[in-house]
Amino acid sequence: MTTATRTNPLSYLTDQLDELKAKGTHFKLRVLEDEQAPVCTFDGKKVINLASNNYLGLTTHPKLREAALEATRKYGVGSGAVRTIAGTMKIHMELEEKIARFKNVEACVVFQSGFAANAGTVSAVLGKDDCIISDALNHASIIDGARLSKAKILVFRHKDMAHAEEQLASVKEEPGKKLLITDGVFSMDGDIGPLPALCDLAEKYGAIMMVDDAHASGVLGRNGRGTIDHFGMHGRVNIQVGTLSKAIGALGGYVCGTRDLIDFLYHRARPFLFSTSHPPAVAATCIAAFDVLENEPERMEKLWENTRFWKKELGLLGFDIGGRNTPASETPITPIIIGDGKLTMDFSRELFKEGVLGTGIAFPTVPEGKARIRTIMTATHTKEELGQALEVLGRVGKRMGIVGLIRS
């Protein structure tokens, strides 16, 4: 018998990829060949890196490197189990205690990533009879957690407090719990969530208040304590999420709150129960990183100095850096709004040829027609590097008709 000919059951994936290619938004992964640094080598080309979340330059900090090496020598490379079986090492507990003290809360639980922290927490804390009231631009991990919880999801227009209140009021009579949730800093536009107004609403409607501070950890608040500290909202946010993967320089996510919230998550958060804990090197690195946040505040000062300089200069060049049809950035994330997805990807490729890495971001990561190059400042970019990047952006932007582009 001859082998039956069978069409490839995954051929629809190829069709979808072909569609992306036709639209010009298909991408190849850029591969980094040396350290995550302001100037580094991707795909064999030395470029100024405007795409990294390494806000404070901690990925290569000597103290963090040393902490990772020492922990590896002492404890090996893996934890060997999930936290609830045999994978809770003393160093994991030390990290959680360290973060809880830093954030001035009762307790903290560390997850394998910020994504796992959000998805695992929202889906554990809420159930099918509950309601989640969520900002339209909240991170994908919040959206996935909300879907996994099976709760009713009500989305309010980005930072529109009247709409958020309307949504809360619409479910006021329902018996289930309500969760009001926002990003502290929105990752694609760089604007800050309106925490004071949201906390007022949560209190008025008896909702649980949750903030995802991934891009605020190490960036906003005293020594990088995040948006809760930035706004003085201590004691008014029930669930605080942060990441260890961005400014902290390593990998992981955490949730801060009451001792009982954390104990509950130890028992019910599925990534905690069913996925292996961090290697000791990661925990040790993060412990060292929080020491650096406390002892080297000059890193954050430099980050903000670079950010102010960068926004001013990009604006002077005539780019749309948000604030017209998109939110205005208030943080080291500065988008250059272009609109068309293909033009954005072409711009990104041309910039790369001229020695600047600025990642193009298009649908579905941002809405259709809001494609952009997202730039991120760090504390370790020098003025010379920024000057050089601005020269390239201006020159290529003019050549491609992007500078001064007026969008409807």
Ligand X SMILES: *Cc1c(COP(=O)(O)O)cnc(C)c1O
Shortest spacing between CB 141 and ligand X, in angstroms: 5
φ, ψ of residue 202 to 5 degrees: the values are: -60, -40
DSSP label of 94: H
Q: Please list, in sequence order, all residues whose beta carbon lies within 8 angstroms of the beta carbon of residue 155, skipping any fewer than 6 positions away.
A: 134, 135, 136, 167
Nearer to ligand X, 187 or 306 (CB): 187
Catalytic residues: 187, 215, 246
The answer to whether 284 touches 278, Cβ cutoff 8 Å, is no
Let me know: does 240 contact 208? Beta carbons within 8 Å: no
- DSSP characters over 30-75: --B-S-SSSEEEETTEEEEE-----TTSGGG-HHHHHHHHHHHHHH
Closest CA to 287 of 31, 121, 84, 102: 102
Closest CA to 166 of 118, 205, 213: 205
Task: Report the nearest approach of ligand X to the CB of residue 354 (Å).
Answer: 28
The DSSP annotation for 100-167 comes to HHHHTSSEEEEESSHHHHHHHHHHHH--TT-EEEEETT--HHHHHHHHHHT-EEEEE-TT-HHHHHHH
Residue with smallest beta-carbon separation from ligand X: 114
Q: Which is nearer to ligand X, 327 or 397 (CB)?
A: 327
Task: Report, in Å, the least distance between residue 117 CB and ligand X.
Answer: 7
Gyration radius from the chain CA atoms: 22
CB nearer to ligand X: give 109 or 171: 109
Residues that bind ligand X (CB under 6 A): 113-115, 118, 139, 141, 183, 187, 212, 214-215, 243, 245, 253
Residue closer to ligand X by CB (options 110, 288) is: 110
- Residue 110 vs 343, nearer CB to ligand X: 110
Token pair for 7:
């069409």
Q: Which of 379, 378, 366, 376 is nearest to 327 (CA)?
A: 366
Q: How far is the CB of 111 from ligand X (least distance, A)?
A: 8
Nearer to ligand X, 270 or 342 (CB): 270
Q: Which is nearer to ligand X, 224 or 253 (CB)?
A: 253
Judge whether 231 and 184 are in contact, CB under 8 Å.
no
Q: Containing H/E element for 223? A: none
Q: How near is the Cβ of 272 to ligand X at its closest, in Å?
A: 14
In 213-268, the DSSP E strands lie at: 239-243, 253-257
DSSP state of 85: T
CB of 139 to ligand X, least distance (A): 4
Closest distance between ligand X and the C-beta of residue 91, in Å?
19
Task: Give the β-pairing of 39-42 and 359-361.
Answer: unpaired
Spatial distance between the Cα atoms of 137 and 140, rounded to a whole number of angstroms? 9
Question: Which SS3 state, helix, strand or coil, does residue 350 take?
Answer: helix
Nearest approach, Cβ of residue 346 and ligand X (Å): 26
> b/e for 46-84, b at 16 or more Cβ within 10 A?
ebbbbbbbbbbbbbebeebbebbeebeeebeeebeebbe
Q: Which is nearer to ligand X, 25 or 331 (by Cβ)?
A: 331
